[in-house]
């Protein structure tokens, strides 16, 4: 028996099409929702220290290529059309090479996790400068200045250096004043905010694909700690709390999800001394009542690239072999592409977890 088909009047069909088109044009659709913005801040390890040549090798080496397969299409690195990055004087679609010159950092995997999760475009703003401490250059406003005697000692030392230089080189440079000492405190914090504001003001020009969309500050990632080991480790927990509070206040984002990459250059060996103190200070942010569900500190030592760790002690005797697994010293996570990628992915997963937590 032939089944009869129900026919709809043309007017009804036209009405349904018009309704669908109208709904697709309503605010809140995928093309209208704001761009998800993440700030990546810190010192040299946030800059990124995995050589691009190492990524190129390990992405094609039979022993490691599976770890990089999701970042490639055929024999090329994926250049994403849904994730963008601004790192100081560089900007563009996310791919390898947005670390220190010729290198890559955690932004590659972090941006990949975010891009794969969101239907909306993602924008990463990376503000990182090597050798900058939380104690001084990244010091945030509510932390105030160090004690008066500390500043005075710093001033005396600075004046002594200028005096000696003047005598040695027969110069007459003016001696620094207390204001010269104070202005360095928080300079990187202020520069970080300036970078974010610059992107906010000019993103449509920087990234034409985002023109016409709004920005939505969605998360913050912090990867720093090395320079605070040298005398400022006991103040780290206090400065970290101030930093989180001030970032949220200055960016008008009271519950901004905040991921901290805990110092992990110790790798497979237990951390000791000042590094251990900073690790504990960073991990302690997980237990601050007001940070519950909106701050997450993750360990990075447990993500160690053991092949790089095992070869590092003899790298000078095995330089060519070393270039196939690492590319820097221990304080830069051995320049391991695998280690940096694992950290970036863990940061991304932690961020998504925070975004699912009840606020």
**Segments making up each domain of the chain, as ranges:** 32-139+185-356, 145-184
- Superfamily, domain 32-139+185-356: SGNH hydrolase (3.40.50.1110)
Q: What are phi and psi of 132, to 5 degrees?
A: -100, 125
What integer is the mean pLDDT of 344-357?
95
Contact 319, 330 (CB under 8 A): no
What's residue 30's pLDDT?
61
Instruction: Label residue 252 by pLDDT band (50, 70, 90).
Output: very high
Q: Which two tokens stand for residue 306?
A: 């053991």
What's residue 196's pLDDT?
98
What's residue 9's pLDDT?
53
What integer is the mean pLDDT of 114-141?
98
What integer is the mean pLDDT of 1-9?
43
* Predicted confidence (pLDDT) at residue 164 exceeds the cutoff of 60: yes
Instruction: Label residue 264 by pLDDT band (50, 70, 90).
Output: very high
17-58 pLDDT, tens per residue?
444 444 444 444 566 899 999 999 999 999 999 999 999 999
Residue with tokens 């103190």: 277
156-to-150, 151, 153, 177, 232 alpha-carbon distances in Å: 10, 9, 5, 10, 20
Helix, strand or coil, per DSSP, at residue 195: helix
What is the maximum alpha-carbon separation in the chain? 110
The partner residues of 86 in beta bridges, in order of sequence, read 91, 125
3-state secondary structure labels for all residues of 208-277:
HHHCCCCEEEEEEEEECCHHHHCCCHHHHHHHHHHHHHHHHHHCCCCCCCEEEEECCCCCCCCCCHHHHH
Chain Cα centroid distance, residue 15: 49
What's residue 54's pLDDT?
98
What integer is the mean pLDDT of 132-136?
98
* Predicted confidence (pLDDT) at residue 234 exceeds the cutoff of 50: yes
307-to-43, 109, 230 alpha-carbon distances in Å: 25, 20, 29
Instruction: Label residue 358 by pLDDT band (50, 70, 90).
Output: low
125-to-47, 215, 280 alpha-carbon distances in Å: 12, 12, 27
What's residue 88's pLDDT?
93
**Nearest by Cα to 49 from 337, 311, 283:** 337
59-110 pLDDT, tens per residue?
999 999 999 999 999 999 999 999 999 999 999 999 999 999 999 999 999 9
Helix axes 273-283, 236-250, angle to 10 degrees: 40
Contact 333, 106 (CB under 8 A): no
Instruction: Label residue 174 left, alpha or beta by phi (over 0 means left) and psi (-120 to 50 means alpha).
Output: beta
Q: What is the pTM of this model?
A: 0.90
What's residue 48's pLDDT?
98
56-68 pLDDT, tens per residue?
999 999 999 999 9
167-183 pLDDT, tens per residue?
999 999 999 999 999 99
244-to-7, 105, 252, 291 alpha-carbon distances in Å: 62, 23, 12, 9
The rounded percent of the chain whose pLDDT value lies above 90 is 90
């Amino acid at each position: 028996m032939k089944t009869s088909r129900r026919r709809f009047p043309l007017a009804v069909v036209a009405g349904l099409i018009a309704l669908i088109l109208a709904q697709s044009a309503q605010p809140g659709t995928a093309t209208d929702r704001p761009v998800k913005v993440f700030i990546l801040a810190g010192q040299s390890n946030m800059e990124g220290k995995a050589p691009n040549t190492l990524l190129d090798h390990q992405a094609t080496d039979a022993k490691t290529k599976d770890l990089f397969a999701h970042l490639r299409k055929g024999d090329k690195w994926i250049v994403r059309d849904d994730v963008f990055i601004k790192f100081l004087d560089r900007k563009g679609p996310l791919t390898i090479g947005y670390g220190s010159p010729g290198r890559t950092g955690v932004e590659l995997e972090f941006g990949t996790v975010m891009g794969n999760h969101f239907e909306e475009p993602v924008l990463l703003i990376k503000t990182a400068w090597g050798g900058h401490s939380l104690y001084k250059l990244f010091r945030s406003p509510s932390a105030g200045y160090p004690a008066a005697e500390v500043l005075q000692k710093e001033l005396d030392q600075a004046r002594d250096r200028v005096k000696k230089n003047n005598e040695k080189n027969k110069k007459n440079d003016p001696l620094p004043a207390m204001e010269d000492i104070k202005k360095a405190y928080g300079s990187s914090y202020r520069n970080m905010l300036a970078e974010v504001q610059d992107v906010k003001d000019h993103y449509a020009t920087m990234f034409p694909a985002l023109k016409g969309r709004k920005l939505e500050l969605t998360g913050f990632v912090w990867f720093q700690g090395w320079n605070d080991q040298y005398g400022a480790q006991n103040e780290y927990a206090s400065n970290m709390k101030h930093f989180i509070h001030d970032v949220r206040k200055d960016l008008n984002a009271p519950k901004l999800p905040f991921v901290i990459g805990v110092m992990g250059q110790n790798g497979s060996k237990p951390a000791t001394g000042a590094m251990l103190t900073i690790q504990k200070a960073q991990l302690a942010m997980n237990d601050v009542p007001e940070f519950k569900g909106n701050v997450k500190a993750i360990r990075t030592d447990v993500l160690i690239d053991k092949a790089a760790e095992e070869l590092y002690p003899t790298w000078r005797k095995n330089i060519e072999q070393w270039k196939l697994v690492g590319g820097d010293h221990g304080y830069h996570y051995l320049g391991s592409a695998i280690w940096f990628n694992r950290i970036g992915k863990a940061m991304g997963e932690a961020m998504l977890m925070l975004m699912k937590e009840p606020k």
